[in-house]
A and B are shown apart, each in its own frame.
Chain A
Amino acid sequence: MSAAESMGADAVGLTKPAATATTPRKKMLELDDLHVFYGAIQALKGVHIEVDEGEIVALLGANGAGKTTTLRTISGLLTPREGEVRWRGERIDGVPAHHVVGLGIGHSPEGRRVFPAMTVTENLNMGAFRFKSVPRAELDRVFELFPRLAERRTQLAGTLSGGEQQMLAIGRALMGQPKLLLLDEPSMGLAPLIVAQIFDIIREINEQGTTVLLVEQNAAQALRLAHRGYALETGSVVLSGPADQLLSDPKVREAYLGEGA
């Protein structure tokens, strides 16, 4: 996909309303009966997840439920032992990670993982590694989304605050001009105010036409942002549905929102 084409897609995305029940569903990503192992330990036990074009989908669950494993499998960092990952109808499980990035799936990994000794700009340029030269328009867009990063463009990433590093990790994933953005716990270890800011930006990114698959422990906020949600428990999906429905589900309220039944 050339830069020009994807710019066009972005322009379309700007006018397109966020996915609702009324718009016809267009499947983007499908996980079908996914079984993933770390050596002898099974991390995913038959996971089914679907992501439609234009959505924000939240993936909830406690520590060790398999959320991060799911994202790593999608982005090609892990290969499933059984099951399929389908991107727009075609199988991509087992495709090496750098080719998955080329398909238009951007991954902002758990724990941010910015390149600590590179400057902010250098980090963002790394995000555009799949292109021969760095797309200026994309860089400008990221700096527009995150003015904080623009102020610190020559600062070393390792010296940024946690929130700024998270912004940089998201920005770096955006530099690859993804159609689907995988975000792994963007709220991890951040103050509530910063989390709110970052979630606002995620909504803005989505409104500009990027589909988002969001992994979160912070269930209440994630569900308020997302269109649909899935809940994982020890490697399987235990609940799924529209976000507002999940938010009012007593089981969800008990298990993830810390309220008594």
Chain B
Amino acid sequence: MSTTTKERDLAPTGSALARLRTKRWYQQPMFGRLVGTVAAAVLLDVMSGPQGSREDVFFSLDKTLGSLRVVWWIIGAVALWAILEFAKPLYNRYLAASVGPLERFHAPVTGPVKGLIAQTRTTSANLRRILWVRIGFSAVVIGLLILLPNVLSTFWNQVLVNEVAIYVLLAIGLNVVIGWAGLLDLGFIAFFAIGAYSTAYWTGAMPVEPPFTLNAFLVIPVAVGTCLLAGLLLGAPTLRLRGDYLAIVTLGFHEIIYLIAKNADGFTNGPRGVQGISNFGVHIGVLDYDWELDPVPYWYLLIGIATILIIAFLRLEHSRVGRAWTAIREDEVAASATGVPTVKFKLMAFAIGASTSGIAGVVYASKARFISPESFLLLFSVLVVAYVIFGGMGSLWGVIIGTAFLAWLPQYMKDWVNPNDRFMYLGALLIVMMIYRPQGLIPSVRRKRELSMAKAGLGDADAMSEPAGGRMT
């Protein structure tokens, strides 16, 4: 008996082979998209319908899926799908050949811009012109952002500062670590906590008296220094590790900082938290101003800090340092063999990220005036990683916009979605995003290339995996 099973040929032949060759209707990408759209519609139906009740676990599902509205959602989804699937080929066939109505509409605007971009690739005189266009555009965006609080309610101004701006600052920092150097840091909020507790300590709010108290502004360089040091201390022994171990080490580091904050009662005041952290203030000569309860001045402050960091990081990305990070990400061994001090540059990315997180911590602590260990849960570290990936790792603009959107969304859903369910929908959104657009909202050109190359089995796309051919230490 055993010999017959051994001798049986397992290779498929004839009709079995033919069956393997044919793709069933539901295996075609078109219907995959249909399933995706319908799933999204059902999800939106549940999200927008009546929310949960304590008495009945299935109340929400009963009310949303059990009524007629789900049918309308599905019909809508199928219609949308059909339009996208069938109208696009028709458009391509009949309208795109001639100048399409859409193009006729936007050509006067896009034409000169495209021309300008094409020119700048060749001549250096135009390089300056495009630089001015960029500066002008950035100025307009910053101007609009400065005016933004005027059209929003106080609630939304609070959200703007506490959620959006702080998370954007964190994401800009984490983008250096994950997006550019390709290192997975799952304990990023640990540095945020270090920044926040530094503020508490140096402004004299902690149970332990500092040697002298500092203005919250002066705490920023101190916190940057502390986080830099913490980043180096953690990074120096661990950045030699393979990437996935690094993720676990940073996770552990987060827990250490969290537990110190929670348990070192005499120093951090433990789970009761620290109160009465002083606000930002400027008192130099005629300049006399204090940041108080109103969120709007913090918004301006954060715009200032973010602008400085964005300019610095953009310069860094296109410098020798940025090239070294790219090389490390793509092939660490080759980078090492071409003379890149890999550990030094990884450490640098790690420390830059850590100090950015520290700055965010200072602003947060000074704004909230109260911090407790519960402000620094592991959840927040994971959220920042999710925001960066959602926005598009390595793309500064993508990360900023993606983070702003995801930080805003739960607040926006607040009124009609049960607060306990909010992260569930965030999770669903991330899953959908990763299936259909793994490169993120606005991917960086380089990362997109790397992902497609890595898919074809070339290079690494991050400094996480074991490089092909083995690592050398």
For the complex, is A97 an interface residue (Cβ under 8 Å from B)?
Answer: yes
A117-B453 CB under 8 A given contacts A111-B469, A125-B323: yes
By the criterion of a CB under 8 Å from any partner CB, how many residues of chain A are at the interface? Answer: 32
Q: Are A113 and B339 in contact (CB under 8 A)?
A: no
* Interface-centre pick from B446, B456, B458 (highest chain A CB count, 10 A): B458
Q: Are A116 and B336 in contact (CB under 8 A)?
A: no
A231 to B456, CA, bound (A): 36
Q: Which of B334, B340, B450, B459 contacts A109 (CB 8 A)?
A: B334
- Pick 12 A–B contacts, CB within 8 A, sort by A: A77-B336, A77-B472, A96-B341, A109-B333, A113-B331, A113-B334, A115-B459, A117-B330, A118-B326, A126-B323, A130-B339, A156-B453
Q: Are B333 and A116 in contact (CB under 8 A)?
A: no
B346 CB to nearest chain A CB (Å): 13
A115-B331 CB under 8 A given contacts A77-B472, A107-B337: yes
CB-contacts of B141-195 with A (<8 A): none
Tell me what chain B mostly uses at the interface: helix, strand, loop, or mixed. Answer: helix
Q: Which of B327, B458, B459, B468 contacts A126 (CB 8 A)?
A: B327
For the complex, is B338 an interface residue (Cβ under 8 Å from A)?
Answer: yes
For the complex, is B19 an interface residue (Cβ under 8 Å from A)?
Answer: no
A126 to B334, CA, bound (A): 10
For the complex, is A235 an interface residue (Cβ under 8 Å from B)?
Answer: no
Q: Please give, as numbers and ranges, the residues of chain B lying within 8 Å of A10 by CB-CB distance.
A: none
For the complex, is A110 an interface residue (Cβ under 8 Å from B)?
Answer: yes
A88 to B314, CA, bound (A): 42
Q: Are B330 and A101 in contact (CB under 8 A)?
A: no
Q: Please give, as numbers and ranges, the residues of chain B lying within 8 Å of A102 by CB-CB distance.
A: 339
Q: Please give, as numbers and ranges, the residues of chain A lying within 8 Å of B129 by CB-CB distance.
A: none
Q: Please give, as numbers and ranges, the residues of chain A lying within 8 Å of B88 by CB-CB distance.
A: none
A245 to B462, CA, bound (A): 48
Question: Chain A, 101-129, contact with B by CB distance < 8 Å: what is the 0/1 string?
Answer: 11000011111011111100010011101
Q: Please give, as numbers and ranges, the residues of chain A lying within 8 Å of B283 by CB-CB distance.
A: none
CB-contacts of A124-155 with B (<8 A): 125-127, 129-130, 132
CB-contacts of B442-473 with A (<8 A): 446, 449-450, 453-454, 456, 458-459, 461, 468-469, 472
A117 to B341, CA, bound (A): 20
For the complex, is B320 an interface residue (Cβ under 8 Å from A)?
Answer: yes
Q: Are B472 and A101 in contact (CB under 8 A)?
A: no
Q: Are B324 and A117 in contact (CB under 8 A)?
A: no
A115-B330 CB under 8 A given contacts A78-B472, A156-B453: yes
* Interface-centre pick from A113, A114, A122, A125 (highest chain B CB count, 10 A): A113
A172-B338 CB under 8 A given contacts A116-B453, A158-B459: yes
Q: Are B453 and A158 in contact (CB under 8 A)?
A: yes
A127 to B341, CA, bound (A): 13
For the complex, is A48 an interface residue (Cβ under 8 Å from B)?
Answer: no
Q: Are B339 and A98 in contact (CB under 8 A)?
A: yes
For the complex, is A80 an interface residue (Cβ under 8 Å from B)?
Answer: no
For the complex, is A211 an interface residue (Cβ under 8 Å from B)?
Answer: no
A39 CB to nearest chain B CB (Å): 11
Q: Are A101 and B453 in contact (CB under 8 A)?
A: no
CB-contacts of B190-234 with A (<8 A): none
Question: Chain B, 5-28, contact with A by CB distance < 8 Å: what is the 0/1 string?
Answer: 000000000000000000000000
Q: Are B338 and A111 in contact (CB under 8 A)?
A: no
Cβ-closest chain A residue relative to B345: A98
Q: Are A158 and B472 in contact (CB under 8 A)?
A: no
A77-B456 CB under 8 A given contacts A98-B339, A130-B339: no
A97 to B333, CA, bound (A): 10
Q: Please give, as numbers and ranges, the residues of chain A lying within 8 Å of B336 by CB-CB distance.
A: 77, 97-98
Cβ-closest chain A residue relative to B446: A117
Q: Please give, as numbers and ranges, the residues of chain B lying within 8 Å of A158 by CB-CB distance.
A: 453, 456, 458-459
Question: Chain A, 152-169, contact with B by CB distance < 8 Å: what is the 0/1 string?
Answer: 000010100000000000
A118 to B335, CA, bound (A): 12
Question: Chain B, 339-373, contact with A by CB distance < 8 Å: what is the 0/1 string?
Answer: 11110000000000000000000000000000000
Q: Are A129 and B323 in contact (CB under 8 A)?
A: yes
B466 CB to nearest chain A CB (Å): 14
Q: Are B320 and A116 in contact (CB under 8 A)?
A: no
Q: Please give, as numbers and ranges, the residues of chain B lying within 8 Å of A173 by CB-CB distance.
A: 337-338
List 8 tightest A-B contacts by C-beta distance, closest first: A101-B339, A116-B459, A116-B458, A117-B449, A113-B334, A116-B453, A77-B472, A117-B450
A101 to B326, CA, bound (A): 19
